[in-house]
Amino acid sequence: MANAIDHGPGVLCRSIRKHFGSGEARVEALRGVDFETRFSELSFLVGPSGCGKTTLISIIAGLLDRTDGELSVLGTNLDELAASERVLFRRRNLGFIFQQFNLLPALTAAENVAVPLIAAGTPRRRAVDHARGLLVQLGLGTRLHALPSTLSGGQQQRVAIARALIHEPRLVVCDEPTAALDHASGEAVMDLLAANAVRPGRSVIVVTHDSRVFHYADSIAHMDDGRIVNVTRPSRSQEQPARVLTRALDVADATERRALLQGSYA
Amino acid sequence: MNFVALRMLTGDRAKYFGLVFAIAFCTFLLENQTTIFANIMKRTASQILDVTDAEVWVMDPQTEYWEQTKALKDTDLTRVRGVPGVRWAVRLFKGNPVARTLDGKFAVSFLIGIDDATLAGAPRKMLLGSWSRLREPDSVIIDQAGYILLFPGEPLALDRTLEMNDHRVTIVGISDAAAPFASLPVMHTRYSQAINYLGRERTQLSFIIARPQAGVSAAELTSRIQERTSLRARTTQEFMWDCIRYYLQHTGIPVNFGITIAVALVVGTVVAGQTFYLFTIENLKQFGALKAIGVTNLRLIGMILLQAFTAGTLGFSLGTGMAATFFEIFLHKLATRGIVLMWECVALTAACIFFVVVVASILSIRRVLVLEPAAVFRG
């Protein structure tokens, strides 16, 4: 079963459209997005602010309804699930890493990591024990009882990574995981993510602006103005596409940016 | 997830204590004001409740409450005694003579004249002396507060002398009579003596107090007496409520207290409710993260209710403790003696706090339910 899944796409989006509001206030956030991720890979979703990356991963994660298009997540059509089933699907199969970590400030590092297990019904003590083990693996063995406010940004993101992985999800969605970190911490977090999140039967989507970490990507989908304009599969040693993307992200004008990207990858 | 909810509640100590103390303060205000109001109203019937021997009070149909009586005829006593079901019925006099000490200090008093033969209606809670000494000539029993008023700073002592309407009377006992509505001395004496301590009127009989025979209820007896004598008959409880109702309808006390209680209610509930609501709003991001992780709406509702009822219970308990301590301290002061925290006021306050907690919870739950989990991606 796992092998069969491994060979299919983790996430498959076809012509996904999403608009907010109506009439003159209508905003087209996604204008027909085709996107797919494979298992055992780090799939990057990059693009300028407001291009629709967050909207797309919210739809993929089942947190937001799309207006139109087809979506399959881990072989499941989320449309076929009732709202309560979708919550259970998310709880069982998805792990989240947020830009601002979103750790519960009143819980210790170990307790924060244990939350997904506790939410799924695991007894608290067993869940926290399991969380401690994972935190030790991620190099936070000395900070198990620390509150988030006493941890550095990098440590908080490591706790968030542990929380996202504790229940062995098959899809991990990371939203700007390095944006709030300095370069060294960002690299450390990406090392950790690449080493621990990428597994057979698991797909990892990373939304990021941070060109410094593009070289971790197995595939890079560039979004602009609500569409995927380009997808590349750079080898880890070949950083040329990433550099082009970096330049593209630095260009403010959308038309010029699109031309640059299409020219580079045509 | 209960532990997560409780840790979210207690994690920020400043917010947590702010919330609990807001509810505690609201509880204290409500219990304090309602209890003082209820006890002051109850004081209007203190002398009725002090007469523990009788269950039925008979009075002129025009008599509305304790303070305002129209005298009965002596023959009315015989008529009441003739009503089937009356075990016994005796006279009771109530007047307001001026009591004067030998050194000239004086005070208007409540004088209660009880039946000479049976002494029914005598105060049963004595601090000094015995009510049976009322059989002695020109004897009175005075309450402790009245004694302190007339003999300030002096120790309680028997056989001291007072003058009432040119009569020399001797204090033969000091009672622990319930505080009256007005802070006046309460004195008991025999009926035949009491009528001499006031200016003589043609009729003096204020009330007839009676007790039903075994198998006859007080309510049933009051109906029979009213039917056969055309006099007004009330049970002790009914007469107490008559007095309270009279004061509620004819004085400014309920309006003044009502305003205070309403202000306490509004301020307390708004502060407590708003604090809890803001607490949830400030935690919306955390609830959003939990929602994204896969915590169901039902579980989130449970968490919010747990937080609300934990804070509500703690705040209510603390506030009730504060109110109980307040009344315990002031229970022994002369002016506030007998004012105790009433369970009815605690129950009323509990209902108010429960209402506040439920409303604040509903508003908070609504905010969490409409929260899109995707909001957590927006930083």
Could you report the per-residue pLDDT of B184-225, keeping only the tens digit for each? 899 999 998 888 887 666 667 888 999 999 999 999 999 999
Residue A68 lies in a domain: no
Residue B231 phi, psi dihedral angles, 5° rounding? -90, 165
- When CB atoms are compared, the residue of A88, A98, A111 closest to B376 is A98
B294/A92 CB distance under 8 A: yes
Cross-chain CB nearest to A87 (options B4, B288, B296) = B296
Q: 3-state DSSP call for residue B162? A: strand
- Residues of chain A with Cβ-Cβ distance to B300 below 8 Å are none
Chain A residue with minimum CA distance to B9:
A106
* Strand B98-101 with B106-108, pairing: antiparallel
User: If you average pLDDT over each of A97-101, A106-110, B366-370, which comes out highest?
Assistant: A106-110
Question: Looking at beta carbons, which residues of chain B come within 8 Å of A106?
Answer: 7-8, 10-12
pLDDT-based confidence at residue A257 (cuts at 50, 70, 90): very low
Which of the residue ranges A5-14, A251-260, B158-167, B271-280 has the most confident prediction, judged by mean pLDDT?
A: B158-167
Instruction: Delimit the domains of chain B by residue range.
Output: 2-44+253-378, 47-250
Say how many domains are in chain A: 1
pLDDT digits (tens, 9 = 90+) for A201-250: 888 999 988 888 888 888 999 998 899 998 888 765 444 444 444 444 44
Q: CB distance A88–B294 less than 8 Å?
A: yes
Q: Which amino acid is at B5?
A: A
Question: A151 lies in a domain?
Answer: yes
pLDDT at A263: 46
Does residue A119 contact residue B1 with C-beta atoms inside 8 Å? yes
CA–CA gap between residue B112 and residue B143 (Å, rounded): 12
Interface contact B3, partner A, CB < 8 A: yes
Complete edge-to-edge strand list for the sheet that includes strand A219-224: A94-97, A171-175, A203-208, A41-46, A219-224, A227-232
Which residue in B19, B282, B293, B300 has the most chain A C-beta atoms within 10 A of its own C-beta, making it the best mutation to test that interface?
B293
ipTM: 0.77
What is the identity of the amino acid at B377? F
Residue A142 sits in a domain of what CATH number?
A: 3.40.50.300
Q: Which residue has the higher pLDDT, B370 or A115?
A: A115
A64 vs B3, B4, B374: nearest CB: B374
pLDDT tens track for A163-199:
998 988 999 999 888 887 788 878 888 888 887 778 8
* Interchain proximity A99–B374, CB inside 8 Å: no
Please report whether residue A230 resides in a domain: yes
- Smallest CA-to-CA distance from B8 within B228, B215, B290, B329 is with B290
Residues 257-296 of B with CB under 8 A from A: 285-286, 288-290, 292-296
**CB pair distance less than 8 Å for B12 and A105:** yes
Helix residue ranges per DSSP H, chain A: 2-7, 53-60, 83-93, 109-119, 124-137, 153-165, 183-196, 240-250, 254-265
By residue range, what is the domain housing residue A120? Answer: 40-62+86-265
Q: What span, in angstroms and rounded, lies between the C-alpha atoms of B370 and A150?
A: 32
What tens digit of pLDDT does each residue of B73-104 get?
A: 889 999 999 999 999 999 998 888 889 998 88
Q: What is the pLDDT of residue A6?
A: 54
User: Do B296 and A94 count as a contact with CB atoms less than 8 A apart?
Assistant: no
CB–CB of A90 and B372 under 8 A?
Answer: no
Beta bridge partners of B99: B107, B164
Q: Which residue has 């499941």 as its token pair?
A: A76
In a domain, A243, yes or no: yes
Give residue A125's pLDDT band: very low, low, confident or very high (50, 70, 90). Answer: very high
